[in-house]
Amino acid sequence: DTADEGRPDLQEHLTALAKPSSTTTSKPRHCFQNAMEIFCPVAGKWKVGPLTAKVRCQPADVCCRGLYITCGGFDGEDYHRTVEAFEPELKLNSWRSLASMVVPRADATASAVDSMSMVLV
């Protein structure tokens, strides 16, 4: 029993991820996602969160100043420069675009320097 059972858009999305891939990449289709899950330690349950604008695999993710930030990634065809942020404290339940990176990348790491409000990828 989850809060997302009444959201057919998410159920359809999650069902599609379970289908075999028709792409030529060696990565399984379920690797390329724009879904996130949110864990509530008080309730001890997971729920499906908002979808990102880009489907991606192997992004560099980091938390900085209350934002969960996902950078770049690979969608099976292209590497991305795009950066999106989710701010759980605002309770908007959505991602917003941030300035894109100069170089597209995937399978990278990201680190936050909170004292300087910087993210290094």
Instruction: Read off φ and ψ for residue 56, nearest 5 degrees.
Output: -150, 155
Rounded Cα–Cα distance for residues 70 and 82 (Å): 8
> Per the CATH hierarchy, to which homologous superfamily does domain 8-112 belong?
Kelch-type beta propeller (2.120.10.80)
Express each pLDDT in 19-44 by its tens digit.
444 444 455 555 778 888 888 899 99
DSSP H/E element including 48: strand 45-48
When computed from its CA atoms, the radius of gyration of the chain, rounded to whole angstroms, is 15
**Average pLDDT of the residues of the chain:** 79
The model carries a pTM of: 0.71
Q: What is the pLDDT of residue 27?
A: 53
| Residue whose token pair is 């908002």 | 50
Q: What is the mean pLDDT of residues 62-78?
A: 91
Neighbours of 80 (CB within 10 A): 20
First and final C-alpha spacing in the chain: 38
Q: What is the mean pLDDT of residues 53-82?
A: 92
What are the domain boundaries of the chain? 8-112
Q: What is the pLDDT of residue 93?
A: 83
